């Protein structure tokens, strides 16, 4: 069953509305990481192609790394870089839709906790 939910006429399935409603209700009642679990699950359910592509990209990053433990890559003549994780834009935007910058800082502390909870997004063997 499909219904139109938004003003621009985009068609959404009814269960999409139900999932989003559960996330919005949980936002005020559950800890942030419980809600992020729900968001990650929603992203994996609704974006299976992107999920698959991210896994392929992570494998490519791992193969290209000169230091497999810390995912250090050769950035060019002037620098090297370390990659911690691959956070897909759609997933990041879903999280940002629920929590703004003041409520959830996506800083190095967040990144470390994210890869601890979701190791499939980690690029290096160690974080």
Return mean pLDDT, the chain.
Answer: 83
Residue 76 lies in a domain: yes
Angle between helices 89-98 and 32-46 (to 10 degrees): 140
Confidence (pLDDT) at 60: 86
Task: Give me the mean pLDDT over the 80-103 stretch.
Answer: 88
Alpha-helix residue ranges (DSSP H) falling in 65-107: 89-98
Residue 104 lies in a domain: yes
100: CB partners within 8 A, 6+ apart: none
Q: What is the pTM of this model?
A: 0.78
C-alpha 61/C-alpha 109 separation (Å) is: 22
Residue 2 lies in a domain: no
Residue 95 lies in a domain: yes
> What is the residue range of 81's domain?
31-121
Residue 54 lies in a domain: yes
Residue 7 lies in a domain: no
Confidence (pLDDT) at 1: 47
3-state secondary structure of 96: helix
**pLDDT tens for residues 59-69?**
888 887 777 76
Confidence (pLDDT) at 116: 95
Residue 45 lies in a domain: yes
What's the number of domains the chain is made of? 1
**pLDDT tens for residues 12-31?**
565 677 788 899 999 989 99
Residue 56 lies in a domain: yes
Q: Would you say 113 and 119 are in contact if contact means Cβ atoms under 8 Å apart? A: no
């Amino acid at each position: 069953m499909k219904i139109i939910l938004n003003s621009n006429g985009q068609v959404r399935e009814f269960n999409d509305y139900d999932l989003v409603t559960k996330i919005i209700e949980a936002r005020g009642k559950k800890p942030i990481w419980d809600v992020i679990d729900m968001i990650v699950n929603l992203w994996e359910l609704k974006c299976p192609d992107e999920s698959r592509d991210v896994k392929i990209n992570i494998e490519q990053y791992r193969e290209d790394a000169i230091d497999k433990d810390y995912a250090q890559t050769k950035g060019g003549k002037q620098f090297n870089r370390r990659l911690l994780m691959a956070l897909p834009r759609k997933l990041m935007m879903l999280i940002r839709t629920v929590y703004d910058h003041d409520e959830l800082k996506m800083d190095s502390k967040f990144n470390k906790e994210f890869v601890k909870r979701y190791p499939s997004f980690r690029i290096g063997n160690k974080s």
